[in-house]
């Protein structure tokens, strides 16, 4: 019972610590560092992804900075097929993906495994994604073990338990930045936003983030014709006729 109480205290401290972070990069770094204490490993990496699925940056713990460049270069080269762009299964209420142990020696060798994973001596990994409020993968966390001892079933179970709660905490960085706060810079722009429906505001938010229309359809789970109808309504309500005018209106660009 005493051992269980100590574990619960550690978990409580973990969630309080990561939940208190207001800076997104610091949130990723703090989460990795504290996860290493709960699920011991020698190395850890966090990969930040934008709304279009493009790798933007990474944070590394116990890993030389040169590997960060290799991570970004490799993921950028296979962007269309890489799983960082995955979305939550909208038909499932539980966390999107069960975390399973990666045993690198059992995978077919490729350039990345040879030049990054193998060169770093990584034997086993546990990785998972944290999502934004639209269900897009935005932060991928990886715990890497270079020792011959694999992650235990208890450690994997613990990480699967932590992931959904981390996901909820992670979404605060996106839920608190709605179109009204994030985009509208002037009082007249904020007033114009109020003339739009909730879905139209989501479209404006995506367009101002530079997300391609095809990706917006997937994010919002709508057809291309529906998206274009939303855009037409937005143009009409705002009395504009081009994307450039929309960006100038809300971003001042």
Residue 74 pLDDT greater than 70, yes or no = no
CA 200, CA 193: separation in Å to the nearest integer?
Answer: 9
User: Would you state the pLDDT for residue 36?
Assistant: 94
Q: What value does the CA radius of gyration of the chain take, rounded to a whole number of Å?
A: 21
CA 46, CA 140: separation in Å to the nearest integer?
Answer: 6
By three-state DSSP, how is residue 130 classified? strand
- Token pair for residue 26? 């610091």
DSSP 6-56: HHHHHHHHHHHHHHT--SHHHHHHHHHHHHHHHS--SEEEEEEE-TTS-EE
Residue 32 pLDDT greater than 80, yes or no = yes
Average pLDDT, the chain: 80
More confident residue, 52 or 16: 16
- Token pair for residue 231? 């855009």
User: Would you state the pLDDT for residue 175?
Assistant: 57
% of the chain surpassing 90 pLDDT:
35
> Which strands make up the sheet holding 43-49, listed edge to edge?
55-61, 43-49, 137-145, 124-131, 102-103
Phi, psi of 183 (to 5 degrees): -105, -55
pLDDT per residue as tens digits for the range 152-209: 999 999 999 999 999 988 888 875 444 444 554 444 556 667 788 888 988 888 888 7
223: which DSSP letter? -
User: Would you state the pLDDT for residue 188?
Assistant: 53
CA 239, CA 253: separation in Å to the nearest integer?
Answer: 18
Residue 89 pLDDT greater than 50, yes or no = no
User: Would you state the pLDDT for residue 221?
Assistant: 77
User: Would you state the pLDDT for residue 132?
Assistant: 82
Phi, psi of 25 (to 5 degrees): -65, -40
Cβ atoms within 10 Å, residue 227:
19
pLDDT per residue as tens digits for the range 199-251: 898 888 888 877 888 878 877 778 999 999 999 999 998 889 998 888 888 77
User: Would you state the pLDDT for residue 196?
Assistant: 87
Q: How confident is the model over 18-27, as a mean pLDDT?
A: 90
């Amino acid at each position: 019972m005493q051992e269980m109480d100590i574990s619960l205290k550690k978990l409580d401290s973990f969630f309080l610590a990561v939940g208190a972070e207001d800076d997104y990069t610091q949130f990723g770094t703090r989460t990795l560092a504290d996860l290493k204490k709960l699920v011991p490993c020698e190395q850890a990496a966090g990969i930040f992804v934008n709304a279009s699925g493009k790798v933007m940056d990474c944070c590394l713990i116990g890993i030389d900075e040169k590997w960060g460049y290799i991570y970004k270069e490799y993921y950028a080269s296979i962007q269309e097929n890489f799983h960082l762009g995955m979305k939550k299964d909208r038909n499932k209420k539980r966390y999107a993906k069960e975390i399973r142990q990666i045993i690198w020696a059992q995978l077919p060798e490729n350039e990345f495994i040879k030049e990054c994973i193998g060169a770093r001596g990584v034997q086993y990994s546990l990785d998972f994604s944290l999502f934004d409020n639209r269900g897009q993968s935005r932060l991928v966390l990886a715990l890497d073990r270079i020792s011959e001892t694999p992650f235990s079933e208890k450690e994997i179970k613990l990480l699967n338990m932590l992931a959904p709660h981390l996901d909820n905490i992670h979404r605060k960085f996106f839920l608190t930045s709605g179109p009204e706060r994030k985009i509208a810079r002037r009082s007249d722009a904020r007033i114009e936003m109020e003339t739009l429906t909730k879905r139209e505001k989501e479209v404006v938010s995506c367009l101002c983030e530079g997300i391609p229309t095809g990706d917006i359809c997937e994010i919002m789970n709508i057809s291309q014709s529906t998206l274009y109808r939303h855009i037409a309504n937005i143009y009409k309500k705002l009395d504009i006729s081009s994307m450039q005018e929309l960006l100038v209106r809300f971003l001042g660009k």
